[in-house]
Amino acid sequence: MAAIPPSNTVLPFAIPRQNPGLHSITCQFVAPFLGQKSQFGELSHDATKAPTPCKVLSKTGDSLSSIVSELEEEGTQRVLEQDDEELKTTATQPEHQLADAWREILGQDDWVGLFDPMDPLLRSELIRYGEMAQACYDSFDFDPFSKYCGSCRFMCHEFFDSLGMSHFGYNVPRYLFATSNINLPNFFKKSRWPKVWSKNANWIGYVAVSDDETSKRLGRRDIAIAWRGTVTRLEWIADLMDFLKPISSNKIPCPDLTVKAESGFLDLYTGKNEACRFCKFSAREQILSEVKKLLDIYSNEEAVSITITGHSLGAALAILSAYDIVEIGLNALKDGRAVPVCVFSFSGPRVGNARFKERLEMLGLKVLRVVNVHDLVPKSPGLFLNEQSPPMMMKLAQGFPWSYSHVGVELALDHKNSPFLKPTGDPVCAHNLEAHLHLLDGLVHYNKNRF
């Protein structure tokens, strides 16, 4: 089922004191009806008629109901005009300025001053890349009774068109696959049919590139990479071995042996099965070869960027692949220019240790992590030893295989502050990607987390 892009769903946050009816956090977005009658408009004419003695006080002879009706119409019209003006400003402002401000949006200055109030350009881009991550779920075949379970339901050349996202202006030259031999049973999906498209592979994302028209609007040629995560279950967190190991042990070049990442993420990123034509090459080899090809094609253009996004487990793969690109210098062009690499992650777990964080910052990789404060996934692994622990304790535990640290800049949201989401005790709801996009769509002041 195609996603309902929150950026295209008008949520009239500016409408004062209307009760739209709270809906479930499963992100079936609803909007209050502007045309509903007020408590005065629902009264009968007889109920609103004033007593006869009072009529002599009215010079105009208007009844109370007609006065209330007129005031109500004026108020509704004023609200509608205000909303129309705000929607026009929101719709036009990002498009007119993005070509000039894209470097700031991709974290050139670490997003300083863009959160409070929430910058409309940043909000628009976060939602756009979030929808690219959501497209991985909407196009994935979850049906265990399908012969193609675990694959993408659409061909590369019709990916965005099939999802109703042709207006994004991106082409998909390559899909990404990973071997399902990795110990993450709640991430991989397999068909129950005896004859299937592949017994060893799962589709885990895609590489896309902006077309000429979109590149002109963005101000650069954008190479986008989206990784699939987990949309319905959180058990994959329990599947993690929660064990750090040197990145170089999985054949990712790194001069510092103390730079470590979670072993399950590394195995998923670098694992392959030469007997399968879909995962004969690892996800790492697939993505690096495609990015190199695209950079060679567009190396003569004035501006190029690499933007990687993902949700949940896909967010961890986004950070790991972005680090890999800058570590091996793949983003360095022949003329000496460095292509900016940025990660927009959603509900992502911790990926590596403190040395991984320091190495990533030294290489100039920009990461903006969007999280829900009630979500369990960003709090793991490393529940006890993490970036929030006392510095002295982290220094002593630096060599421990379960000492983790988040990377980049965090944008923390709270779904309890949204008047459009019903409270629920289901932890999966706090992890839902579309809920994050809804919160971004309505966020006005970050420090107050106010809609």
Query: Catalytic residue numbers?
Result: 312, 375, 431
Paired with 368 in beta bridges are 344, 409
- Tell me the C-alpha to C-alpha distance, in Å, between residue 380 and each of 115, 352, 385, 413, 434: 25, 11, 10, 17, 21
| Whole-angstrom distance, CA of residue 359 vs CA of residue 323 | 9
| Whole-angstrom distance, CA of residue 30 vs CA of residue 20 | 8
Q: Please, where are the H alpha helices in 192-254?
A: 212-218, 236-239
- Contact, 347 vs 436, CB < 8 A? yes
* Residue 247 structure tokens: 């990145």
* Residue 101 structure tokens: 């401000």
- Contact, 101 vs 317, CB < 8 A? no
Burial class (CB in 10 A: 0-12, 13-18, 19+), 194: exposed
What region, left, alpha or beta, does residue 226 occupy, with left being phi > 0 and alpha being psi -120 to 50 degrees?
Answer: beta
| Whole-angstrom distance, CA of residue 312 vs CA of residue 239 | 14
Pairing of strands 409-413, 366-372: parallel
Hey, what amino acid is at 123? R
Residue that is written with structure tokens 């909407």 in the block: 138
